[in-house]
Amino acid sequence: MSKQSFTLTNNQTKQSYEYPILEGTRGPSVLDLRSFFKDSGLFTYDPGYTSTASCTSTVTFIDGAKGELRYRGVPIETLATEHSYMETCYLLLTGELPDKDTLQDFDLEIRHRAFLHEGLRHLFAAFPDNAHPMATLSAAVTALSTFYDDHKSCQDDAGYQEMARRIISKIPTIAAFSYRHSLGIPFIQPDIDLGFTKNFLTMMRAYPGGKMHLCATGHEEIKEVEVRALDTIFTLHADHEQNASTTVVRGVASTGAHPYVAISSGISALWGRAHGGANESVIAQLELIGSVDKVEAFIERAKDPDDDFRLMGFGHRVYKNFDPRAKILKGLQDELRVELNLNTELMAIARKIEEIALNDDYFISRNLYPNIDFYTGIILTALQIPKSMFTPIFVIGRTVGWITQWIEFKKDETSKIARPRQLYRGK
């Protein structure tokens, strides 16, 4: 056995077991306990997987203490400021940033694949008015698997790429249709003349025929700063290693189900307010607070152990320092405030919460900083996107990460069906 090992001793039997320590390229080393049960007859206990590495990965790296995030080794700050979401998708899928020609081909392919099979359109009619777009989105992605049954058995790189590019392209269309169905307004088809992000905003906002709102000065065009802001939000959401929804996607992958069904399960997992649903809850909470003078009372509630009220958009399982995505978005929020001339009460309430919480011992001692969702809610509101679409926007950004992790799981020869054990304390 190598020197890099860890010995565990059972104090009842006095028996010792030695396990190898595995080294990563970054981050903490990992104790390889795969044979622990076979050796000792004991299980390890780790609810919420706070000390467990569930896989080997080369996709995303987070250092929560430093507040560092990298996709395929590239710092998130570089991607958010120097590259587009399309480039980020290509990077995640292939491991390399594309050159100019490769990017152009990739971008064109994504544009052309954005249309939905006409049969799928009918599915939306089955949902009641006001159906939450997340529920419709998850159902429609499961339904999408029925149109591409072959993807269940894809095994080579060409097959993986076609399957992945198809879902990345179609997710914004499904999300926009889910939203428009919830309002009972006609769908807007994708426009191949438009890039990924502008196309999505158009499918959300346009009138039939693809024209924007008409005002005294003509049609209100989508502003470049809005496209850039949303594109950055997509990039910041693109992957986040083994979070709750990605773990669900890998878990479904482990059973051999269709990849789009795994994505649909990821969408359901993301919806909860402890995860991606937090962005919608942040705005609901700011609206509940209502005015700057009420902020302090709500902060007191968040600190009260007998009150289950939590400050939405604060805290993170991994980041015990400022979430680097939140730092980028804070800058973007300030930029938008100037460029779109925004100074809303919601922004003022958010600023007050931030100011108090960042200086309060309760939050400081628990390392509770604003996370990505604290700022996305505010920025998306500034982009006139309704609350119910905040988490679907997270889905659009994250689909590339989920599908990349799905492919990685499939290619990994050590992958096994996800099947944890339990500490039984029943009758």
Binding residues for ligand CMC, per CB under 6 A?
240, 243, 274-276, 278, 302, 310-317, 366, 368, 371-373
Residue placing its CB nearer to ligand CMC in the complex, 171 or 311: 311
Min separation Cβ 60 and ligand CMC, Å: 12
| Token pair listed for 278 | 């937090």
Min separation Cβ 392 and ligand CMC, Å: 14
Catalytic, 219? Answer no
Residue placing its CB nearer to ligand CMC in the complex, 190 or 277: 277
Min separation Cβ 69 and ligand CMC, Å: 11
Task: Report in angstroms the alpha-carbon separations of 115 from 136, 203, 258, 376.
Answer: 17, 12, 20, 27
Q: Residue 374 corresponds to which amino acid? A: F
Using an 8 Å Cβ cutoff, are 265 and 253 in contact? no
Residue placing its CB nearer to ligand CMC in the complex, 359 or 414: 359
| Token pair listed for 222 | 């989508």
Spatial CA neighbour of 229 closest among 314, 342, 105: 342
Spatial CA neighbour of 148 closest among 177, 180, 170: 170
Of 83, 240, 258, 316, which one is the catalytic site residue? 316
Residues with Cβ < 8 Å from 1, sequence gap 6 or more? 18, 20
Task: Report in angstroms the alpha-carbon separations of 56 from 43, 241, 414.
Answer: 21, 10, 9
* Calpha distance 163→260 (Å, rounded): 9
What residue is closest to ligand CMC based on CB? 315
Using an 8 Å Cβ cutoff, are 229 and 375 in contact? no
Residue placing its CB nearer to ligand CMC in the complex, 63 or 109: 63
Min separation Cβ 62 and ligand CMC, Å: 10
Min separation Cβ 319 and ligand CMC, Å: 8
Residue placing its CB nearer to ligand CMC in the complex, 84 or 243: 243
Using an 8 Å Cβ cutoff, are 177 and 117 in contact? no
**Cα three-residue angle 189-192-195, rounded to 5 degrees:** 105
Spatial CA neighbour of 60 closest among 50, 71, 49, 48: 71
Residue placing its CB nearer to ligand CMC in the complex, 259 or 313: 313
Catalytic, 373? Answer yes
Min separation Cβ 42 and ligand CMC, Å: 25
Catalytic residues: 316, 373
